[in-house]
Structure 1
């Protein structure tokens, strides 16, 4: 029998039809966003300047945010659970941060000098993360990872770096599973291992030996699907790097929100260096890298031959002022623990809703960050999604937008502090309705 004559799973054709209908409804409801995108395509390739915000037929254009809510160019309102991919921890209108930024602007923007606020912010970071005795600032998590690796290579005199398949460490260090290494990645010699494979990773570190400068790892893969590392896996990295002299670097750009001292404190594993970014400057552009004093000493300008670390806006007055308020007054230990607990409760409720309908869908994550997977669990490592899974993910995204809930295109949610229990209940109800309505096109559990 010809493959063309083979019976098709009816779910596939139904899924195609459901997705076409969802796209058409999405486009029809957003003529202003469509017009903005059409104009943008004339002057920007693809019509935008940030890949993660690109999706077809066109992305929704937002015009206003307040608290945990957004309004788009067509006047539609949303509960914002995207949380600016974890950078929007404080919501869109935290008055204390706005006041701090305004006060900094009133004193002058570009001063080309050091200031007291950068010392205050550095002390706040050093005081809460176990691995950080000294810290330097950058403009993004991407830059933080670049400089951390530069420091590790400079200190050790070695060149190679071990990373993990499915990992993401910024726009120039992206390693999606099943995809050739990106041409945008920096030309640093890389070795690869599998995430959450403790024995395999330890063996790879020992095999690299004195060629390996650093191991760079996310304690929870964010872009890879909010997949937490096991403690056993991270401990194996800690033990093997100590044995071989490589530096262990935790990329906590996202996960530092999962506790007062990040996931490293929650898990009780201390790396040699840590990178930060996202929320720490209250929504302003920000990144940082820090570590043991002897490691960070390679950037000490008082020492002959110190490594340079430039950046016009590294210590810009807006980020420094906002960061002092964000970490010093708002996101304290009690706030961090409350946010983590809220996310854990939400994820459990979402998974209960999925299980109730008997569909192959569940959420992974830690604390206030979570991501749906359209397959049975557990999911402990990144994977290449099937075309059907990608369609289900897209359908989920459009259905949530129709329900007035804004998520990352890949389905990831990152709760902000203004999100309430009622907001979480609304999301659970929307997922429950999605599972009920789309059960005919979802895979059975």
Structure 2
């Protein structure tokens, strides 16, 4: 462990970390520069970009990934929760190889999609019928479209700071590329204010779309009181309540909704549910989902060449039936809860103002915030420079996580590796103490 001098500045320390990163990753830099010739900023997925240039990964095995410069990392982000099974899980790999042997792009119905649908419906009691898509983004777009068609209303309520895919992002109030719905923004975890908004706009509200825990918004859990109040208010005004459980579905075998006993009208899923393949799903009560029954003369259309692609169907079924059993879900949740408690205890012991928020196997760190964190507005004064230093320092220590400080455990990250992460966090706090908020 090196020592940061007491008179060092945070900006200078970060500049040194950037220089160290550049020296250690020349091939990643070359990959980035070449990519810039064909993609804007060398990038086709904004989330993965970070300065001075993004790390280029070449392989993954178990709970670890390796970059093009030959560095190995314990994978603490798990493809932003999609890689719940780690890399090359034997059950999923076997299922994919078997599907490959039978042929791709068959252009018809198969038995795999029905098996996966039945398993999803069994796991999520609020999902009586389900349809598949290619991503969580598509799933949320389809769920909102379903609600608008069913209610004949146009307004869509979301939460400030919410993220429902690349076309529905509400950090800072919204994105210029958002789908052009008539949005009503609520404040996350504000029971009184949100209920008042629902009541005031009830006759025009088609749906309320909410994450049981803000993912991209900083791993901020919704309180049971908040979700319960939104459920009751949605029922009173006749709006469709949609839980975006693309991330939080991993909190138990039946998602966060099962843990809380709060049933939405519709649920959206994605990421790991497809076994790590491109996947999304939207489902809900029978009356709503029956609108897509093609046997009806008034059926709503829902196409998608790859909705039932054989790889996602096979991988998803293998993952849910063989690897992510209810017992495995409970164990992963408990491991994540224990890890977050240890990380927060270490920050307190070091006298550093840093909080890890989250639920179960997902967490995010915030520097410089001493008070409670209930909504993205509470993060306005967070120290982003300290966060970037943390990200680079943890890469240096052999841990791969999100640039925004988020982690998402996968099934192949062991208890010993969680302990190693806590040790690295303590090492970081000790080394960088002079420049960290405290």
Say whether 1:344 aligns with 2:337.
yes
Structure 1, unpaired ranges of 5+: 1-9
C-alpha separation in 1, matches of 2:223 and 2:307: 33
Change beyond 3 A, Cα 1:135–1:261? same
Which residue does the alignment assign to 2:284? 291
1:377 shift after superposition? 3.5
C-alpha separation in 2, matches of 1:40 and 1:12: 39
Which residue does the alignment assign to 1:108? 103
Which residue does the alignment assign to 2:71? 76
For the 8 Å contact 2:156–2:206, the answer to whether it is kept is yes
1:56 shift after superposition? 1.1
Q: CA offsets per residue over residues 205-262 of structure 1, 9 Å max, x none?
A: 1111210000000000000000000000000100000000001000000000000100
Picking from 22, 29, 53, the partner of 1:27 is 22
Which residue does the alignment assign to 2:9? 14
1:281 shift after superposition? 1.4
Change beyond 3 A, Cα 1:195–1:385? closer
Say whether 1:436 aligns with 2:391.
no
Say whether 1:133 aligns with 2:128.
yes
Which residue does the alignment assign to 1:3? none
C-alpha separation in 2, matches of 1:385 and 1:128: 34
Which residue does the alignment assign to 2:32? 37
For the 8 Å contact 2:206–2:240, the answer to whether it is kept is yes
1:386 shift after superposition? 5.7
SS at match of 1:363: strand
Which residue does the alignment assign to 1:217? 210
Q: CA offsets per residue over residues 50-102 of structure 1, 9 Å max, x none?
A: 00011111111111100000111000110000100000000011011111111
Structure 2, unpaired ranges of 5+: none
Picking from 359, 379, 396, the partner of 2:390 is 396
Change beyond 3 A, Cα 1:221–1:259? same
For the 8 Å contact 2:136–2:268, the answer to whether it is kept is yes
Which residue does the alignment assign to 2:159? 164
SS at match of 1:276: strand
For the 8 Å contact 1:362–1:377, the answer to whether it is kept is no
Which residue does the alignment assign to 2:372? 378
Cα-Cα RMSD:
1.4
C-alpha separation in 2, matches of 1:217 and 1:288: 16
C-alpha separation in 1, matches of 2:213 and 2:35: 35
Report the TM-score when normalising by structure 1: 0.95
Which residue does the alignment assign to 1:422? 416
C-alpha separation in 2, matches of 1:333 and 1:12: 52
For the 8 Å contact 1:165–1:175, the answer to whether it is kept is yes
1:378 shift after superposition? 2.0
Mapping 1:257-336, distance limit 5 Å: 257-336=250-329
Which residue does the alignment assign to 1:6? none
C-alpha separation in 2, matches of 1:267 and 1:100: 33
Picking from 233, 248, 264, the partner of 2:226 is 233
Which residue does the alignment assign to 1:4? none
Say whether 1:412 aligns with 2:403.
no
For the 8 Å contact 1:365–1:371, the answer to whether it is kept is yes
C-alpha separation in 2, matches of 1:373 and 1:383: 13
Which residue does the alignment assign to 2:112? 117
C-alpha separation in 2, matches of 1:421 and 1:403: 18
C-alpha separation in 2, matches of 1:436 and 1:209: 52
- Matched length: 433
C-alpha separation in 1, matches of 2:125 and 2:333: 19
1:414 shift after superposition? 0.2
C-alpha separation in 2, matches of 1:241 and 1:265: 19
1:125 shift after superposition? 0.5
Report the TM-score when normalising by structure 2: 0.97
SS at match of 1:274: strand
Mapping 1:56-71, distance limit 5 Å: 56-71=51-66
